[in-house]
Amino acid sequence: MSNALIIGAHSAIATAVARRLAARGDTLCLVARDADRLADLAADLTTRGAAEVHTAELDVLNVDRHDAALAAAAEALGTIDLALIAHGTLPDQSACEADAELARRAFDINATSVISLLTPLAERMAKQGSGTIAVIGSVAGDRGRQSNYVYGSAKAAVAAFTQGLRQRLFKDGVHVVTVKPGFVDTPMTADFPKGPLWAKPDTIARGILRAVDRRQNTVYLPWFWRWIMTLICLIPEPIFKRMKL
């Protein structure tokens, strides 16, 4: 039995992680934007066996509220054994190209707010001297591509930030996992045509919890994305820039 803080609890991957934790009787604190839906999700996790479920409403763009939300979560849970940061949106790339405000907002949701939450969270976890922080990045952060570089650059920021944080918190006994999912069949990607590379949220959730248990550093989910991204990153830039990829 352990205590988990889940930020962006309505994301399909976060919900799948929370359900796995609930089934093993953990205590959860869910942080998300929509209060009504939070109550339903809390009920769902209780039904599945969670010891206790706490909720805190937070719009991650409202950075002034980050400290208070984390304080409330920490008080509810006591020790935080696992903190999962899972919120994010998939922006419309071409709309972002035409509107700097949209691009900035997408970056704020996917990167700035994550960094802003991780900073006080890291302080708390370092003081606690134990636990794991798992942050959902993306394979899209490994190389900027014309089809989604706004999203990709935000995820790249998250990857570099968590990499540094992992090194910093190592001496404090706190572990940081950078999660890089590939294509996941979620409401965020509902309108994409699906192929054999697509994974279910629960498959990703299983991989995240395995990575947490094994204290893996950066994990590609499913595993084959490590090799796909290795190949994509090997393409020389003079060729890459001419590709449609």
Partner 1 sequence: MATTLSGWGRYPVIEAERRLTRSRGDVAAALSSGFTGIAHGLGRSYGDTALADQVLDTTPMDRLLELDAQGGRLRCQAGASFDDILGVIVPRGWFLPVTPGTKFVTVGGAIAGDVHGKNHHREGCFGDHVDRLSLMTADGTVVECSPTANAELFDATCGGIGLTGAILDATIRLKPIRSAMIDETTHRATSLDATLKLFDRTSDATYSVAWIDCLATGDALGRSLVMTGEHAPEGPLTPHTAPRLSVPIDAPNALLNPLSVRVFNALYYRRMLGDTRSRRVHYGGFFYPLDGVAGWNRLYGKGGFTQYQFVIDRDAGRDGLRTILRRIAESRRGSFLAVLKEFGPASRRPLSFPKAGYTLALDFKIDDELFGLLDELDAIVLDHGGRLYLAKDARMSEQTFKCSYPRWDEFVDVCRRHDPRGVFRSRQSDRLGLTG
Question: Is the backbone peptide bond immediately before 222 cis, with ω within 30 degrees of 0?
Answer: yes
User: Which residue stretch of 55-63, 65-73, 83-91, 186-194 sits at the interface with partner 1 (rule: CB under 8 A)?
Assistant: 186-194
User: Which range touches partner 1 (CB under 8 A), out of 41-49, 104-112, 152-160, 167-175?
Assistant: 41-49
Residue 174 CB contacts under 8 Å (≥ 6 apart), including other chains? 122, 125, 126, 128, 129, 130, 131, 132, 133
> Over the range 106-116, which residues count as b (16 or more CB within 10 Å of their CB) and which as e?
bbbbbbbbbeb
Cβ nearer to partner 1, comparing 14 with 41:
41
Query: Please, are residues 181 and 139 in contact by the beta-carbon 8 Å criterion?
Result: yes
Q: Is 151 assigned a catalytic role?
A: yes
- According to the binding rule CB under 8 A, does residue 35 interact with partner 1? no
Under rule CB under 8 A, residue 40 binds partner 1: yes
Please tell me which residue in 31, 117, 133, 151 is annotated as part of the active site.
Answer: 151
d(CA 201, CA 183): 10
Under rule CB under 8 A, residue 10 binds partner 1: yes
Site for partner 1 contains 187 (CB under 8 A): yes
> CA nearest 107: which of 180, 162, 178, 156?
156
The answer for residues whose C-beta is within 8 angstroms of residue 204's C-beta and 6 or more apart is: 13, 16, 179, 181, 184, 221, 222
Q: How far is the CB of 244 from partner 1 (least distance, A)?
A: 21
Question: From the list 24, 25, 43, 104, which residue makes contact with partner 1 (rule: CB under 8 A)?
Answer: 43
Q: In the chain, how many H helices and how many E strands?
A: 10, 7
Nearer to partner 1, 137 or 182 (CB): 182
Interface positions, 206-225, toward partner 1 (CB under 8 A): none
Q: Which of 47, 79, 146, 217 binds partner 1 (CB under 8 A)?
A: 47
Q: How far apart are CA 137 and CA 118, in angstroms?
A: 13
Give yes or no for residue 41 binding partner 1 (CB under 8 A): yes
- 37 lies in the binding site for partner 1 (CB under 8 A): yes
Tell me which stretch binds partner 1 (CB under 8 A): 39-47, 59-67, 166-174, 223-231. Answer: 39-47
Active-site residues, by number, are 151
